[in-house]
């Protein structure tokens, strides 16, 4: 049966980073066959950052996956990066393919893959590009949609970062998948906590966070013996840990059948809408005051920006924030934006050639 018909929520994809042997694939398929996992994942062509690392067993590994599917009935998915990978994946009966983060960055490659997938019924999972670029991610998804692929999923696996000191291998930058979901609420987003974490101790908490954010599924690297894995050893978890992770996972639903809770939520949302209207009206009033100050500064030939005044705003607003139980960092970020807009409007006034309105 197609994994698409299971309607399992969240959609669970699990399996090793790489297919390493027939024994390994059979062992993991046996462990996952009676779980809620809909798809077994295993890389057979591995995009390695440096040459000389293990690059996958290719067609031979597809044979192990096809055989294990026959034996345990678990559908499987592999990563494809070249036209010949697609042809082989289809020949061996893969149930889905995924596009890796290093491939999504390249529209030429993505288009070539879309052109060979065209006309086949295979679902495609598109990982985010390594850069936090929502347009590039959307563009890759659209290339598959345009050739008529019916089932295109997005996979969030985090983004390369130069910032040292992050606890993540690929920091999640949650605003990027949230923006994708805002633009395309119809596309299912699967979270890959393994590649985000890079470290097995973080996989459960990132999985829970994805559920809390309303993601539609998880793709998790599971290996019978993670420490001896040939790729991504540090982030893979055992089938037992995977079972424990699923057991502890709080699954959230966008809708609730609890009618009194949904009434209360509707009421709270209506109140929030009202407060947001007030916030926008207040911001408009604040900008009117800024413009009045701009006209005054123009008349008196004063500069727009006054560092002492800005320092005073930062200080006093942070203190007020604390008395209201708001984080000073949050208020500082917000005021930077407000101040920036206020300065921009005042500069427009100073630079305009119009006659000064009298106020
Ligand atoms: C993988 O899924 O093993 C993989 C190589 O992922 P990514 O493209 O996200 O780095
Ligand atoms: Mn991996």
* Mutational test site, ligand 1, from 45, 101, 128, 171, max ligand atoms within 8 Å of CB: 101
Q: Which of 173-187, 222-236, 250-264 has the lowest mean pLDDT?
A: 250-264
Q: Which of 52-56, 82-86, 121-125, 201-205 has the lowest mean pLDDT?
A: 52-56
Q: What is the CATH number of domain 2-248?
A: 3.20.20.70
Q: What are phi and psi of 232, to 5 degrees?
A: 50, 45
| Domain range 261-351, its CATH number among 1.10.30.50, 3.40.50.300, 1.20.59.10, 3.30.360.10 | 1.20.59.10
| Residues 115 and 86: beta-carbon distance below 8 Å | no
- Give residue 78's pLDDT: 98
Question: How far apart are the CA of 128 and the centre of ligand 1, in A?
Answer: 10
- Residue in 154, 160, 241 with CA at minimum distance from that of residue 195: 160
Question: How far apart are the CA of 348 and the centre of ligand 1, in A?
Answer: 48
Intervals of CATH 1.20.59.10 along the chain: 261-351
Average pLDDT (217-240) is 98
| Ligand 1 within 6 A of CB of 15 | no
% of the chain surpassing 90 pLDDT: 88
Intervals of CATH 3.20.20.70 along the chain: 2-248
Does the pLDDT at position 358 exceed 70? no
Rounded to whole angstroms, the Cα distance separating 59 from 46 reads 12
| Ligand 1 within 6 A of CB of 101 | yes
What are 305-338's pLDDT values in tens digits? 999 999 999 999 999 999 999 999 999 999 999 9
- Give residue 27's pLDDT: 98
Does the pLDDT at position 122 exceed 90? yes
- In three-state secondary structure terms, 217 is strand
Q: What angle do CA 115, 116, 118 make, to 5 degrees?
A: 65
| Residues 129 and 103: beta-carbon distance below 8 Å | no
| Ligand 1 within 6 A of CB of 43 | yes
Q: Model confidence at 165, in pLDDT bands (50, 70, 90)?
A: confident
Q: Which residues contact 357 (CB under 8 A, 6 or more apart)?
A: 295
| Ligand 1 within 6 A of CB of 100 | yes
| Residues 218 and 36: beta-carbon distance below 8 Å | no
- Give residue 254's pLDDT: 78
Ligand lying closest to the C-alpha of residue 155: 1
- Give residue 209's pLDDT: 96
Residue 249 CB neighbours (<10 A):
16
Average pLDDT (247-269) is 89
Closest atom of ligand 1 to 46 CA is 5
- Give residue 357's pLDDT: 55
Rounded to whole angstroms, the Cα distance separating 288 from 300 reads 19
Does the pLDDT at position 355 exceed 60? no
- In three-state secondary structure terms, 38 is coil
What are 278-291's pLDDT values in tens digits? 999 999 999 999 99
Closest atom of ligand 1 to 195 CA is 9
Strands 76-79, 39-41: parallel, antiparallel or unpaired by DSSP? Answer: parallel
What are 35-58's pLDDT values in tens digits? 999 999 999 999 888 898 899 999
Average pLDDT (53-70) is 96
% of the chain surpassing 70 pLDDT: 98
- Residue nearest (by alpha carbon) to ligand 1 atom 3: 17
Q: Which residues contact 7 (CB under 8 A, 6 or more apart)?
A: none
| Ligand 1 within 6 A of CB of 156 | no
Closest atom of ligand 1 to 43 CA is 3
- Residue in 132, 199, 139 with CA at minimum distance from that of residue 172: 132
| Residues 42 and 16: beta-carbon distance below 8 Å | yes
The full DSSP string for 99-125 is E-HHHHT-HHHHHHHHHHHTTS---EE
Rounded to whole angstroms, the Cα distance separating 313 from 328 reads 12
Question: How far apart are the CA of 154 and the centre of ligand 1, in A?
Answer: 13
- Give residue 359's pLDDT: 57
- Residue nearest (by alpha carbon) to ligand 1 atom 4: 100
Residues having C-beta closer than 5 Å to ion ligand 2: 17, 232
Residue 98 pairs with which residues in a beta bridge? 79, 125
Does the pLDDT at position 143 exceed 70? yes
- Give residue 1's pLDDT: 60
- Residue in 253, 244, 158 with CA at minimum distance from that of residue 206: 158
Does the pLDDT at position 304 exceed 80? yes
């Amino acid at each position: 049966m197609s994994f698409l018909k299971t309607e399992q929520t969240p959609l669970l994809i699990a399996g090793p980073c790489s297919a390493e042997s027939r024994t390994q694939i059979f062992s993991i398929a046996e462990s996952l066959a009676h779980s809620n996992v809909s798809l077994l994942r295993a890389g057979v062509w591995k995009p390695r950052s440096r040459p000389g690392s293990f690059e996958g067993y290719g067609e031979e590994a597809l044979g192990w996956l096809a055989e294990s599917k026959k034996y345990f009935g678990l559908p499987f998915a592999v990563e494809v990066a070249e036209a010949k990978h697609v042809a082989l994946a289809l020949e061996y009966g893969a149930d889905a393919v995924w596009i890796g983060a290093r491939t999504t960055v390249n529209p030429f490659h993505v288009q070539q893959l879309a052109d060979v997938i065209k006309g086949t019924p295979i679902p495609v999972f598109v990982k985010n590009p390594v850069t936090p670029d929502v347009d590039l991610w959307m563009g890759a998804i659209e290339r598959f949609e345009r050739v008529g692929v019916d089932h295109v999923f997005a996979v969030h696996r985090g983004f390369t970062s130069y910032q040292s000191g992050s606890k993540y291998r690929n920091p999640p930058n949650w605003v990027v998948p949230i923006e994708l979901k805002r633009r395309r609420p119809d596309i299912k987003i699967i979270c890959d906590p393994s590649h985000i974490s890079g470290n097995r101790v973080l996989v459960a908490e990132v999985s829970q966070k994805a559920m809390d954010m309303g993601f539609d599924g998880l793709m998790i690297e599971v290996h019978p013996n993670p420490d001896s894995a040939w790729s991504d050893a540090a982030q893979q978890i055992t089938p037992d840990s995977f079972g424990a992770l699923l057991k502890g996972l709080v699954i959230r639903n966008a809708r609730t059948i609890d009618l009194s809770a949904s009434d209360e939520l509707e009421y709270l949302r209506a109140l929030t809408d009202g407060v947001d209207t007030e916030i926008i009206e207040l911001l408009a009033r604040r900008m009117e005051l800024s413009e009045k100050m701009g006209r005054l500064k123009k008349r008196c030939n004063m500069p727009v920006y006054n560092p002492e005044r800005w320092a005073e705003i930062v200080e006093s607003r942070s203190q007020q924030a604390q008395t209201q139980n708001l984080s000073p960092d949050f208020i500082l970020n917000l005021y930077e934006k407000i101040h920036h807009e206020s300065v921009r409007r005042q500069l427009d006034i100073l630079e305009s050639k119009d006659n000064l309105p009298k106020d």
